[in-house]
Amino acid sequence: MEENQNANEQRQAQQVSIVETEENTMNSSETTTPLPTEYDQASVSPTALTNIEIKTDIMEVHKHPHHITHKKKWEEYALEFLMLFLAVFLGFLAENLREHRVEKEKAKQYLSSFYEDLKNDTSRINTLVEYDQQKISALRTMYNCYDTVSANLQSTNCMGELIKYSRSNRGFVLTERTLQQLANAGGYRLLNKEDADSITAYENAYKAYLDFQRTVFQSSQDNVRNTLNQFADFRIIAPLQLTTANFAGDTVDAKLKGPLMFTKDRQLLNQWFNELGMYLRTANGQLNIMLQIKEKATGLLRFYNAKYHFEE
């Protein structure tokens, strides 16, 4: 009986032990097992390590050129610099060509405008040359008139025509529209040397004319006027001075309404004719300068039209 009882107790103890072992196993399986942080070289074979190193070397050798860790060679830097330089140079060249084309077109516009100014100048010069020729023709009668008046101080009718052409003058004014634009806007730098020199020569010819007008011609005209005022009768000369302004101050009616001389001073009369002779020479000088300017203007018209075809 005791043996059976001991056997039963041993059997129960074994069952309890088995249950506790299963519970411990279940509890240990629910806990999280930490992952290894690195390979255990002891558990890895040398052959596996060698294969890993070979694969790593192969991956490093075949990195893409645009990879973040890729190291460029000097040839690549040189190629990139060359491409950048060519891009900048070609852009600069294109811009330079565009500016050159714009400046060339602007220069042609200046020349076209100057061409129109030349046509206006030549038209005005033709009118002034015709007037100066009439003046010179009238003044050349002074010699016969002097003989007539010297013989009889009352016979002064011939002096009316001389007074008409010696008391005023028609001056030439250059069309400076384009010249002022060229000077103020620095347009001369856009023109080629031949065109710029031709314009400068024409402008210098006009300046020479102005200098002659303001000095020699004006002085000669003032002398003739001042001396005439010293011996002319006011009542006779006044109508000639009042009937003016049709042709820049020229008297329209050259007929005198009586003897001109207020005094019988032959010395003043002689002085006036002497100064009139000097005035005739200056009028001839003015005509020659005007013809020179006309020649330059017409020559430039032919030159520019042949070169740029402005009339087409």
Q: ∠184-189-191 over CA atoms, to 5°?
A: 110
Say how many domains are in the chain. Answer: 1
Mean pLDDT taken over the chain: 80
Instruction: Please give the single-letter amino acid code of residue 55.
Output: K
CA distance 67 to 79: 18
Beta carbons of 135 and 165 less than 8 angstroms apart: yes
Confidence of residue 93 (pLDDT cuts 50, 70, 90): confident
Q: What are the distances in angstroms from CA 229 to CA 4, 143, 277? A: 181, 21, 17
CA distance 84 to 89: 9
| Euclidean distance between CA atoms 296 and 205, whole angstroms | 9
The b/e string for 41-80 (b: 16+ C-beta within 10 A; e otherwise) is eeeeeeeeeeeeeeeeeeeeeeeeeeeeeeeeeeeeeeee
Lowest mean pLDDT among 83-92, 116-125, 273-282: 83-92
29 residue type, one letter: S
**CA distances (Å), origin 180, targets 121, 175, 201, 214:** 15, 10, 15, 22
Q: What pLDDT shows up at residue 86?
A: 80
Percentage above 90 pLDDT, the chain:
54
DSSP string, 52-90: HHHHHHHHHHT--TTSTTPPPPHHHHHHHHHHHHHHHHH
- Does residue 51 form part of some domain? no
Mean pLDDT across 289-312: 94
Q: What does the alpha-carbon distance between residue 103 and residue 198 come to, in Å, rounded to a whole number?
A: 19
Statement: the pTM of the whole predicted model exceeds 0.75: no
Q: Which residue has the higher pLDDT, 78 or 226?
A: 226
Residues 114/312, Cβ–Cβ less than 8 Å: no
Domain membership flag for residue 37: no
More confident residue, 89 or 176: 176
In a domain, residue 47? The reply is no
pLDDT of residue 252: 55
One-letter identity of residue 140: R
Count of residues making up the chain: 312
- CA separation (Å) from 155 to 58, 152, 260? 130, 5, 8
Question: What's the rounded mean pLDDT across residues 92-98?
Answer: 71
- DSSP 3-state of 157: coil
Bridge partners of residue 247, in order along the sequence: 250
Contact (CB, 8 A) for 134 and 219:
no
- Residue range(s) defining the domain that contains residue 260: 97-308
**Residues 230-288: pLDDT tens digits?**
999 999 988 876 654 444 445 456 788 899 999 999 999 999 999 999 999 999 999 99
Number of other CB atoms surrounding residue 132 within 10 Å: 22
Residue 54 has pLDDT above 70, yes or no: no
Residue 39: inside a domain, yes or no?
no
49-63, 72-86, 279-293 — most confident range: 279-293
- Percent of the chain clearing pLDDT 70 (strictly above): 71
- State the average pLDDT over residues 197-201: 95
Q: What integer pLDDT is reported at residue 117 of this predicted model?
A: 96
Asked whether the predicted pLDDT for residue 68 surpasses 80, the reply is no
When pLDDT is cut at 50, 70 and 90, the band that residue 58 belongs to is very low
Query: Is 153 contained in some domain?
Result: yes
Instruction: Assess whether pLDDT exceeds 80 at residue 166.
Output: yes
- Judged against a pLDDT cut of 70, whether residue 134 lies above it is answered with yes
Q: Residue 221: inside a domain, yes or no?
A: yes
Query: Side chain identity at 204, as an amino acid letter?
Result: N
Q: What's the confidence (pLDDT) of residue 225?
A: 94
Name the residue among 171, 173, 175 with its Cα closest to residue 114.
Answer: 175
